[in-house]
Structure 1
Amino acid sequence: MNYFNIASIPGDGIGPEVMNEGYKVLKAMENLHGGLSFKIEEFDWNCTRYIKTGTMMPDNGLDILKDYDSILFGAVGAPEVPDHISVWQLILPIRRAFQQYVNLRPIKLLKGIESPLRNKTEKDIDFIVIRENTEGEYSNSGGKLHENTPHETVIQNSVFTRFGTERIVKYAFQYAKQKGKSKLSVATKSNAMNYSMPFWDDIVREISRDYPNIPFHLYHIDALAAFFVLKPEEFEVVVGSNLFGDILTDLGAAVAGGIGIAPSGNINPEGDYPSMFEPIHGSAPDITGKGIANPIAQIWSVGLMLEHLGYSDLASVIMAAIEKAIEKGEALTPDLGGNGTTDAFGDAIVSEILKGVEV
Structure 2
Amino acid sequence: MTYDIAHLPGDGIGVEVTEATLPLVERVADDHGFSVEATTYGWGSEHYIEHGSMMPEGALDRLADHDAIFLGAVGHPDIPDHVTLRGMMLPIRKTFDQFVCERPSVLFEGVESPLRGYEGGDIDFVVYRENTEGEYADIGGREHRGHEHELAVQSAVFTRHGTERIVRAAFEAATERDGKLTNVTKSNAQAYGMVLWDDIVEGVAEEYPAVTVERLLVDAASMDLIRRPDEFDVVVASNLFGDILTDIGAIVSGSMGLAPSANVTHDERYPSMYEPVHGSAPDIAGQGVANPLAAVLSAAMMLEDLGEPAAADALHDAVAAQLADPGAPRTPDLGGESGTEAVTADLRDRL
- Which TM-score band (shorter chain)? over 0.9
Aligned residues: 350
Q: How does 1:79-118 map to 2 (within 5 A)?
A: 79-118=77-116
Displacement of 1:180 in angstroms is: 3.9
Q: Give the Cα separation in 1 of the matches to 2:304 and 2:6.
A: 17
Cα pair 2:255 2:334 within 8 Å, conserved: no
Displacement of 1:330 in angstroms is: 3.1
Displacement of 1:202 in angstroms is: 0.4
Q: How does 1:22-41 map to 2 (within 5 A)?
A: 22-33=21-32, 35-41=33-39
Q: Give the Cα separation in 2 of the matches to 1:157 and 1:293.
A: 36
Question: Which of residues 290, 293, 301 in structure 2 aligns to 1:293?
Answer: 290
Q: Give the match for residue 161 of structure 1.
A: 159
Displacement of 1:313 in angstroms is: 2.5
- What SS class does the counterpart of residue 256 from structure 2 fall into? coil
Cα pair 2:28 2:314 within 8 Å, conserved: no
Q: Give the Cα separation in 1 of the matches to 2:222 and 2:312.
A: 29
Q: Give the match for residue 73 of structure 1.
A: 71
Displacement of 1:129 in angstroms is: 0.5
Question: Which of residues 139, 144, 157 in structure 2 aligns to 1:146?
Answer: 144
Question: Which of residues 320, 324, 327 in structure 2 aligns to 1:327?
Answer: 324
Q: Give the match for residue 135 of structure 2.
A: 137
Q: Give the match for residue 356 of structure 1.
A: none
Question: Which of residues 331, 338, 341 in structure 1 aligns to 2:339?
Answer: 341
Displacement of 1:312 in angstroms is: 2.2
Q: Give the match for residue 18 of structure 2.
A: 19
Q: Which moved more, 1:152-161 or 1:320-329?
A: 320-329
What TM-score, normalized by structure 2, do the two folds share?
0.97
Structure 2 counterpart of 1:59, one-letter code = E
Displacement of 1:43 in angstroms is: 0.1
Displacement of 1:261 in angstroms is: 1.6
Question: Which of residues 185, 189, 193 in structure 2 aligns to 1:192?
Answer: 189
What TM-score, normalized by structure 1, do the two folds share?
0.95
Q: Give the Cα separation in 1 of the matches to 2:106 and 2:125.
A: 6
- What SS class does the counterpart of residue 277 from structure 1 fall into? strand
- What SS class does the counterpart of residue 181 from structure 1 fall into? coil
Q: Deviations over 1:163-220 (max 9, x none)?
A: 101111111111222x143211110111111111111000111111211221211111
Q: What runs of 5+ residues in structure 1 fail to find an aligned partner? A: 354-359
- What SS class does the counterpart of residue 35 from structure 2 fall into? strand
Q: Give the match for residue 7 of structure 2.
A: 8
Distance 1:212 1:272, change over 3 A: farther
Q: Give the Cα separation in 1 of the matches to 2:152 and 2:333.
A: 39
Could you list the runs of 4 or more consecutive aligned residues of structure 1 that deviate by over 6 angstroms after TM superposition?
A: none
- What SS class does the counterpart of residue 184 from structure 2 fall into? strand
Q: Give the Cα separation in 1 of the matches to 2:177 and 2:259.
A: 23
Q: Give the Cα separation in 2 of the matches to 1:276 and 1:253.
A: 19
- What SS class does the counterpart of residue 260 from structure 1 fall into? helix
Identity between Structure 1 and Structure 2 (%) = 46
Structure 2 counterpart of 1:256, one-letter code = S
Structure 2 counterpart of 1:233, one-letter code = D
Q: C-alpha root-mean-square deviation of aligned residues, in Å?
A: 1.1
Q: Deviations over 1:72-108 (max 9, x none)?
A: 0001111121111111000110000000000000010
Residue 270 of structure 2 corresponds to residue 273 of structure 1: yes
